[in-house]
Amino acid sequence: MPDIFPASPVPPLSPTPLLAGTVPATPRRTWRIVRANARQRADYLRLRHDIFVTEQGIFTGSDRDRGDDDPRTVVLVAVDTAEVPGTVLGGVRLTPHDDGPDTGWWVGDRLVVAATSRTHRGIGTALVRRACATAEQLGVLRFEATVQAPNEALFRRLGWETTGQGLYHGVPHVAMRWPLHRVRDLIAGTKQPLGSLLSVFGGGVNGASVGALGGPGFVGDDGAPVPGSDLVAACDAILPAMVEADPRWAGWCSVLVNLNDLAAMGATPVGILDAVAGHDATSVARVLEGMADAAAAWGVPVLGGHTQTGTEPSLSVTALGRTTRPVPGAGGEVGHDLSLTVDLAGRWRPGFEGRQWDSTSWRTGEELRTLGGLVAAAAPAAAKDVSMAGIIGTSGMLAEASGTGVTVDMAAVPRPAGTSAGDWMTCFPGFGMLTADAPGACRMVSPLTEAATVGRLTTEPGVRLRWPDGVETPVTTTVTGMGRG
């Protein structure tokens, strides 16, 4: 058990005062928590030595390790604001669990509080709480600590979960995990209502299931095969807040997401229709300019639509494509590999950092069309483009439609340098395709993308994340609730 968090006593939470008599005055906090600068880090290291080496004798000589030299490490310190302003009274360290690429697994450790500040000041508790909040801000998806056994009750009161027990340097410790729900909450907010909302269409045409929501094998898919033809139709709307904040980008994305849907079906786009509204002609014109840029880049005509001013912003686009062999999102089977093919080039879209990766606006038309044809050329058993549910949520959608579960290998997912695991796994990546097929059967290879096997379809329903230590953590048991496609 390599991590100590905390290895110094932390004062218990203050009991709730009796609701009788005079309400006691709330003591004024005489310290604040900040990210440590170079001087404060040095003071924190000295404080750690005083406690871990001199006072507790857990380490001999020094308690420093590779985490102190990792440039990604974040140190939080509590500094005095009253008696001796600037004095470091306590601190805690957050660092990636592994030396290699960040998988989103971090640990909190080396929590210390100066001996003179351990009584009724709440510094230790506040440092733990701030560490949890900071982990979320850093895009961490698994956050753990190994605490001395007497402090387990405190951490549990703060919301931590116990995952194991053991000895560290002969001292009983407890392994604990802070519950992070970023992926689960994204899925719940974007996809989980779909099953109940769309159940109204479950009867299909004249009470039959044929033709309902794409028809058997394509229910809930990226696009819908049009009965009696080789056409595939896709329809997507853009969030009104995005239309208002960046109209031209919204116009571009309205084409992008629909053509991605067709690409995931293995279809070649033949035309798009739009419905756009806005406060005035100027704002609507900017949306249409973005659409026109995208249509020209992909070489797809805008066939028509509806345009309105004097109302709240809105934008939806329908795209039509052709294929005689549509690729379903529901074609996966237990044991199939899950692969991700993604364009890592680009950057976060200004104003949408951590949410939208722009890998397309600077690509040539030829490159965009090449990307759009990858699924059709590979003909995998199943495919879905990464949607607003992110890589993990979309993996769950493919698995759910296929009647399976899925385990995503966090260490295998290709990711742009400088992005956090939390941001990348939950963002819209511009161009990203998830495919399922027999092991080794389908690898969409292109010099424009990175491709990797990132998981496996399983018999156990739901979505789980597999970490480098072999631990699997559940995300959700259902994604859309629509069941098998």
Do both 189 and 333 map to the same domain?
Answer: yes
Residue 224 has pLDDT above 50, yes or no: yes
Band of residue 441 on the pLDDT scale cut at 50, 70, 90: confident
pLDDT of residue 162: 97
Regarding whether 336 and 187 lie in a shared domain, the answer is: yes
Indicate the helix (H) or strand (E) that contains 310: none
Q: Which of 160, 180, 200 is the last residue of a domain?
A: 180
Two tokens, residue 237:
């709307």
Residue 4 lies in a domain: no
Host domain of residue 291 = 212-326
Give the pTM: 0.89
- How many Å apart are CA 41 and CA 417, to the nearest integer? 26
- Identify the pLDDT of residue 21: 37
Q: Are residues 424 and 361 in the same domain?
A: yes
How many other CB atoms are found less than 10 A from the CB of residue 461?
A: 15
Q: What is the pLDDT of the chain when averaged over all its residues? A: 90
Total structural domains in the chain? Answer: 3
Domain end (from 180, 197, 227): 180
Place of tokens 């549990």: 156
- What pLDDT, on the 0 to 100 scale, is given for residue 28? 67
Do 219 and 190 lie in one domain? The reply is no
Q: Would you say residue 441 lies in a domain?
A: yes
pLDDT digits (tens, 9 = 90+) for 382-430: 999 999 999 999 999 999 999 999 999 999 999 999 999 999 999 999 9
If asked whether residues 176 and 245 sit together in one domain, one would say: no
pLDDT at 67 exceeding the cut of 90: yes
Give pLDDT, residue 485.
58
CATH of the domain at 76: 3.40.630.30
> Measuring CA to CA, how many Å separate 382 from each of 122, 157, 396?
53, 45, 13
Query: What CATH number did the domain enclosing 395 receive?
Result: 3.90.650.10
Nearest of 389, 230, 407 to residue 332 by alpha carbon:
407
In the predicted model, what is the mean pLDDT of residues 10-36?
Answer: 57
Same domain, 334 and 436: yes
Give the CATH number of the domain where residue 293 resides.
3.30.1330.10
Q: Is residue 83 part of a domain?
A: yes
356 and 304 in one domain? Answer: no
- E strand or H helix at 365: helix 365-372
Same domain, 236 and 318: yes
Distance between CA atoms of residues 188 and 182, nearest Å? 10
Q: Is residue 1 part of a domain?
A: no
15 within some domain: no
Question: For the residues 240-256, what does the mean pLDDT come to?
Answer: 97
Cα 155–chain centre separation: 25
| Structure-model confidence comparison of residues 150 and 466, the more confident one | 466
Residue 287 is assigned to a structural domain of this protein = yes
Return the percentage of the chain with pLDDT > 90, whole number: 79
In this structure, the answer to whether residues 322 and 335 fall within a common structural domain is no
Pair (458, 355) in one structural domain? yes
**Residue 18 reports pLDDT greater than 50:** no
425, 141 in Cβ contact below 8 A?
yes
> Do residues 349 and 370 both lie within one domain?
yes
Of 270, 293, 326, which closes a domain? 326
447 in a domain, yes or no?
yes
- Do residue 313 and residue 356 come from a single domain? no
Q: Is residue 2 part of a domain?
A: no
